[in-house]
């Protein structure tokens, strides 16, 4: 008996279709933590040119029917950012609103989170230390939705002018630290597809390390008070040569000398440095020496309005002097 083997070729065409996933979220933090993402692949194929029933995928494998979606849950990303605003110019001894330092806290994670805020004096790298630094707004813990931000205000007490470190252009640095407030722990070990793992994704700040659910930044106080300079000069404008009877025989204005009867002009100049704060309520006071007799006074320059003499002392009316301005009081007297 002869056995004949027949080989039958069956044409098979298989195509695999998968659902393309794209995030519909428009905010920078990305897909929200806890979101379940489903995905099913499908194969379409033919046998002998005849289309067969499509087969859907499953995580464990499927050979017929629609299959089961492969799913995973988006994990929680803890990420926050503190940035410092423009520094603040302050006067020695200032406190309260005059010392407002601005920061911004942003939640760059993908879930609503709460953060504690702590302000502290930086202990190195500046000229002087403030005291009693507090976060005045917002109240902590502050809760922020994903990708949301909030302004933060810090106030400190500025020490009094000590003539060395708390003077114009000296600086003090203040650190703001934000930290996740509920005590979350980062998930260790392998990923778990069907539960929300926690990942710390923050960068290093000025007083913290990367991936610690904290972030910090430094802002700066700069002393900017009035920077006044007072200059007083004298000049002789004329001298009188007297006769024996005491009357004037000659008045000399060129190369005059400071002899009895000569006229002396004192020029008192007050200037405020460029970039300084406005000085207010300035009063110039100058007692006339006993060996001089007062004649007159005059004012010129910025702000200063008038002058007068009483009981041998010349004073100006109170005036203000802004940065870069100069005021002058001129006193005329004669040598006794």
pLDDT digits (tens, 9 = 90+) for 116-147: 999 999 999 999 999 999 999 999 999 999 99
Write out the E strands in 181-213: 198-200
HSE (CB half, 13 Å, CA atoms) of 92?
Answer: 18
pLDDT digits (tens, 9 = 90+) for 11-45: 333 334 443 344 444 456 799 999 999 999 999 99
Domain of 232, in residue numbers:
228-335
Let me know whether 85 and 207 are in one domain: yes
Q: What is the CATH number of the domain that holds 256?
A: 2.60.40.1170
Strands 41-47 and 55-56: antiparallel
Neighbours of 192 (CB within 10 A): 12
Q: Residue 58 burial by CB count (10 A; 0-12/13-18/19+): exposed, middle or buried?
A: middle
Whether the ω angle into residue 138 lies within 30 degrees of 0, i.e. cis, is yes
What's the gap between Cα 197 and its chain centre? 35
pLDDT digits (tens, 9 = 90+) for 235-287: 999 988 877 777 777 788 888 899 998 999 999 999 999 888 899 999 999 99
Q: What is the pTM of this model?
A: 0.74
Final residue in a domain of this structure, among 74, 94, 125: 74
Let me know whether 170 and 295 are in one domain: no
Final residue in a domain of this structure, among 198, 223, 248: 223
Strands 76-78 and 198-200: parallel
């Amino acid at each position: 008996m002869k056995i004949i083997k027949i080989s039958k070729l069956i044409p098979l065409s298989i195509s695999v279709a998968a659902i393309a996933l794209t995030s519909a979220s428009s905010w920078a933090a990305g897909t929200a933590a806890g979101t379940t993402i489903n995905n099913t692949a499908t194969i379409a194929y033919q046998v002998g040119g005849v289309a067969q029933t499509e087969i859907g995928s499953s995580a464990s494998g499927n050979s017929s029917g629609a299959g089961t979606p492969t799913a995973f849950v988006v994990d929680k990303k803890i990420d926050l950012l503190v940035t410092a605003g423009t520094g603040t110019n302050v006067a020695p001894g200032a406190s309260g609103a005059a010392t407002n330092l601005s920061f911004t806290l942003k939640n760059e994670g993908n879930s609503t989170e709460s953060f504690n805020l702590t302000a502290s004096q930086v202990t190195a790298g500046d000229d002087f230390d403030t005291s009693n630094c507090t976060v005045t707004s917002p109240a902590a813990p502050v809760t922020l939705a994903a990708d949301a931000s909030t302004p933060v205000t810090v106030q400190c007490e500025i020490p009094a002018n000590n003539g060395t470190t708390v003077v114009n252009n000296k600086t003090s640095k203040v650190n703001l630290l934000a930290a996740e407030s509920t005590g979350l722990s980062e998930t260790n070990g392998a990923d778990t597809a069907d539960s929300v793992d926690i990942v710390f994704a923050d960068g290093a700040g000025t007083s913290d390390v990367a991936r610690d659910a904290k972030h910090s930044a430094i802002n700066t106080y700069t002393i900017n008070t009035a920077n006044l300079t007072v200059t007083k000069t004298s000049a002789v404008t004329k001298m009188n040569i007297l006769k024996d009877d005491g009357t004037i025989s000659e008045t000399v204005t060129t190369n005059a000398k400071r002899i009895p009867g000569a006229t002396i002009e004192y020029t008192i100049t007050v200037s405020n440095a460029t970039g300084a704060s406005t000085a207010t309520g300035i009063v110039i006071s100058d007692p006339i020496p006993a060996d001089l007799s007062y004649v007159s006074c005059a004012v010129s320059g910025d702000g200063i309005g008038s002058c007068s003499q009483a009981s041998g002392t010349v004073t100006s009316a109170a005036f203000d002097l802004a940065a870069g301005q100069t005021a002058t009081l001129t006193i005329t007297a004669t040598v006794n």
